[in-house]
Chain A
Amino acid sequence: MKPSSPNQPDFSFRHADTLSKAVGAERYSTDFTPPGCLWAGAKRAGVPHARITAVHVGEALAVDGVKTVLTGADVPGSNLQGIVHKDQPVLAVDTVRHAGDAVALVLAESREALAEALSRIRLEYEPLPGVFEPELALAAEAPLVHPGREGGNLLARGLVDKGDARAAMRGCDVVVEGEFETPMQEHVFLEPPNGTARLTATNGLETVVSTQAPFRDRFEIAHALGLDPMRIRVRAPYLGGGFGGKDGATVQCLLALAALHAGGRWVKMVWSREETFLAGYKRHAARVRIRLGASSSGALQALDSVMYFDSGPYAHLGVEIMALGLEHAGGPYMIPHTRAEGFCVYTNNPVGGAFRGFGVVQASFALERSLDALAARLGMDPAELRLMNALRTGEANCAGVAMESPTGVRECLEAVMAHPVWAGRHTWKEAAPPFKRRGVGIAASCNAMGYGRGLPDAAAAKLELTRTGTFRIFNSVADMGQGNAAAFVQLAASALNQDSSLFEVVQPDTRLCPPAGSSSASRTTYTFGNALLRACEAMREKLKARAALALLVDEPSRLRLAPGVVADEATGRSIPLALLGNMLQRDDRICVDQYVMPVVENPPDTGKAFRLGFPHRFFSHGACVCALEADELTGQVELVECVTAVECGRVLSARGVEQQVHGAAAQGAGLVLMENLAHQDGRILAGDLSTYLIPTSRDLPDLEWLAVDGDEPTGPHGVKGMGEVGIHGPAPAVAQALEDAVGLSINRIPVDPMDVLRALRSNKA
């Protein structure tokens, strides 16, 4: 299959689904407002750590139009949410552990009554000392986030250990050492968390939610509220963005609890933007200490690193995120001896969670900055240093897993190095206008695909031939904007040799679609795509067999699928799909098949204390060049060029990859240039979009993408995941460019213009 050029018209299904969005016809979760629905909303704690002494709901109940006010005592079931580790109450009981904890839930007839009632709930607290810094939280005398818990504030420790890093370090010609910090980051999906829910006449629970994991949501709701998961139906329409922030319960359990008290009426819950800042999950803030050693020729020898992840008061996916960070401690490089130790720590800060780049962003920034320091020490070109250490196919990564799947990191580096932004950097820098300093930086990255060993990365796909001879794909993996629904149509249309206009897609619905894992971990197209291709294969064989009956052919294998028909080339006769559709009963028109992502077969004994998701077998690769201009008068930094190459197997849809790379690079650029979720003692100071700034169209250059064609033999048509790898480049590349421009070596992000000014002043002095 030939990749389509990004400038060619899109294939028709992507055309249809984006057109429906563009004209405002597509119905997102937030667009369902059933007439006469009730409105639900949570009262948030507002303080980071306290004992609840009283929740006064009387005045709220007195508000006209308020139906009920619920507190922790009203939650049936375990009252605990969490994807792997269940430790987050739906409604707080006794204690609040961060400012966004929900303490009470109001149901009202209107949004106005809801807002009024929420403002009239009075909370009485006895303040508790909090912990807001992971390393301090591990001190013996630190206040405990979950008193009585074995392990105290240490949620989990992890270790990836290959060879003997500490001994090898002693034999290195050069060793660099550093400490690096990456901040919390807000997803800022434009559609806030929201959903609707009701009890059905048969006592089932029906919900429509903006969610990345509809199938898992059933179990999370059921566990928290003591319900039967099989009586819960979750539908996930197209999402207005997710990026990891809608993986795990946002509104789900609160909404379900509200529905239990709504007497069969629909209940709607929509978080405001401020509530999303307060209560939503964040990229984990992390601190990484690294020692990196090499020979005098620049060959990497040893890596010794320690990472601290700030989980906030609940686990969410923190342990798994830390584990993935550890697994990427050595990046896309060949380092014989590696040790990466991680601590995932409870604090009273906002809750950490999944975010595109899942632990890898944090590890990658620290490693790439260390490579810069090493290049400077060795007097080497930073690109050459990366190139000479780039992991080749067959070599073992820092987790000791030999890369059997092709690694394209070298090709990515070569692609961006050949680009004029890198190749012509000296001339460009010399042409800097007055009062501007220019610099260029380069970085490489890799990002694992899928859940890793120990947790089946599975999907089942259902495909139906309709009575009229068209096809219906039951998509089990939510489309948060990445276009997987359209990619599935493209895969199926080509497998069945049909025009894509013959396909429609049913969006995830736990009642209609067979189960699949979440829309996350760069796994969506790979895993569901493979399941779908198998279902297509079954469909093709079935259609040939049934057509053989109608055509009186005794060798079905000689029949072929052609657009709209099953054809017998030998006789020139054919039977239209519409006729077949009409002929078969419904059960016979459906094919279901499944796929489980293969895992590392003989995993090395390098990962200690991991239960799930280690190690990974498949990785996508990337390299990025950023060029920037720093203003000598203001210290402001402008990103002028950002070129990203990614290798993600075969490029099936150039536009699809380009869109993901642009979006990921933009979020990476935001992370390094401006996104500052300032917080103090557990309270977010930049809690809305007027204070937490994300890139606007004026803050970014024309981001560029370079295709590096690869091939993943196990992937659907050779494809690997590519949703995340593009986010890693800008932070380290900008940091290196800043050093190039003004001699400022940053070890934390985002860039502070005051630091730029200080560096310029000390240069002059």
Chain B
Amino acid sequence: MSGKIVPTFTLAFTLNGGPVRVETSPGRRVLDLLREDLGLTAAKEGCGSGECGACAILVDGAAKLSCLMLAVQLEGREVVTAEGLGTAENPHPIQAAFVENGAVQCGYCTPGMTIATAEFLAHTPDPDRGQVREAISGNLCRCTGYVKIVDAVLAAAKAAPGESS
């Protein structure tokens, strides 16, 4: 359909715990693949150039910016989006902490923030405020001034010691 004939391939990876096989082009942005082809819209586009963190996902447990990744890079990987952390009925402790601490205003940054938090708490289970501020500094939020987000991350660390990813 698009401008040029683009080769497609069958991409196989694990998405939020389940196997996925999808026909796509190797150069498809992972963010578009997730949002438009697979209907998972938690990861957001805020800049498309690696500056805002709204598009963050976990790839093999590490937070990655999906706006900078190409589909081919997901082959065989384990991917978790904010949808895979938890649901409204059964939220992840990090998601619950964001809600309970008032860290969500417009909420556009929140899925990316929770992904960054998940990675961070997995290796820093008992952080102080300064470490939290450092850890989320790649994720922009224009609504909150960050205070409540820092509170939320610390609360999440308390709520689920050692099992945050």
Q: Which residues of A contact B (CB under 8 A)?
A: 6, 9-10, 15-16, 18-28, 30-31, 33, 63-66, 108-113, 116-117, 187-192, 238-241, 243, 270, 272-273, 480-483, 655, 658-659, 662-663, 665-667, 688-690, 694-698, 700, 702-703
Contact = CB atoms under 8 A, between A and B. Distances in A.
B96 to A, nearest CB: 8
A112 B52 CA distance: 23
Interface of B: 1-4, 6, 32, 35-36, 40-49, 51-52, 54, 81-83, 85-88, 91-92, 95-96, 98-100, 102, 104-111, 114, 129, 132-134, 136-150
Contacts of B51: 273, 688-690
A27 B108 CA distance: 10
B4 to A, nearest CB: 7
A689 B134 CA distance: 18
A65 B3 contact: yes
B83 A23 contact: yes
Given A243-B142, A689-B52, A15 B107 contact: no
B17 to A, nearest CB: 15
B86 A23 contact: yes
B119 to A, nearest CB: 15
A240 B144 contact: no
Given A110-B2, A663-B143, A22 B106 contact: no
Contacts of B96: 19
A666 B47 contact: no
B147 A33 contact: no
A227 to B, nearest CB: 29
Nearest to A479: B106
Contacts of B146: 666, 695-697, 700
B137 A697 contact: yes
Contacts of A9: 100
Majority SS at the chain B contact face: loop
A644 to B, nearest CB: 10
A192 B85 contact: no
Most-contacted residue by chain A among B54, B133, B140, B147 (CB, 10 A): B147
Nearest to B25: A112
A22 B142 contact: no
Contacts of A243: 142
Contacts of A6: 102
A404 to B, nearest CB: 32
Given A110-B1, A273-B51, 6 more contacts: A21-B106, A22-B98, A23-B92, A190-B106, A191-B44, A694-B142
Given A22-B91, A22-B99, A273-B48, A703 B81 contact: no
Q: Which of A22, A110, A483, A662 has the most CB of B within 10 A?
A: A22
Contact of B106 (A110, A117, A480, A666): A480
Given A10-B100, A21-B110, A23-B85, A481 B145 contact: no
A416 to B, nearest CB: 17
Contacts of A189: 106, 108, 142
B46 A31 contact: no
Given A188-B142, A665-B145, A20 B88 contact: yes
A695 B65 CA distance: 20
B83 A24 contact: yes
B136 to A, nearest CB: 5
A600 B35 CA distance: 50
Nearest to B43: A24
A300 B84 CA distance: 61
A690 B99 CA distance: 29
B145 A24 contact: no
B87 A23 contact: yes
A18 B104 contact: yes
Nearest to B92: A23
Among A10, A28, A113, A659, max chain B CB count under 10 A is at: A659
A31 B2 CA distance: 21
Contacts of B98: 18, 22
Contacts of A18: 98-99, 104, 107
B87 to A, nearest CB: 6
